Amino acid sequence: MRFYESKGLITSIRNSGNQRRYKRDVLRYVAIIKIAQRIGIPLATIREAFGVLPEGHTLSAKEWKQLSSQWREELDRRIHT
């Protein structure tokens, strides 16, 4: 989690004991990041996609479909070059 935070992909909140706490939407983003990495999407591309979303935003089914479609196109380009 700290790795993804250091790369600017997620954010955390600190409690009074200075421990990191993550909101539910951040945990969903981590799941998306893991899936994207597993299929070969670079972290920079993931960060770019998340950068246009407001903080705390949960992807709708339509947004997830659009995002995965963009990533699929990128993967297809890489496969065919």
Phi, psi of 35 (to 5 degrees): -65, -45
- For residue 48, give the 3-state DSSP assignment: helix
Phi, psi of 13 (to 5 degrees): -115, 150
Instruction: Report pTM.
Output: 0.78
- Which one-letter DSSP state was computed for residue 56? T
Q: Is the pLDDT of residue 16 over 90?
A: yes
Query: Where do the domains of the chain lie, and which CATH numbers do they carry?
Result: 2-79 (1.10.1660.10)
- With beta carbons less than 8 A apart as the criterion, state whether 45 and 77 touch: no
What pLDDT does 12 receive? 93
> pLDDT digits over 21-76, tens only?
999 989 989 999 999 999 889 999 999 988 888 877 888 889 888 888 888 888 88
What pLDDT does 4 receive? 95
Determine how many CB atoms are found less than 10 A away from the CB of residue 7: 13
Confidence class of residue 17 from pLDDT cuts 50, 70 and 90? very high
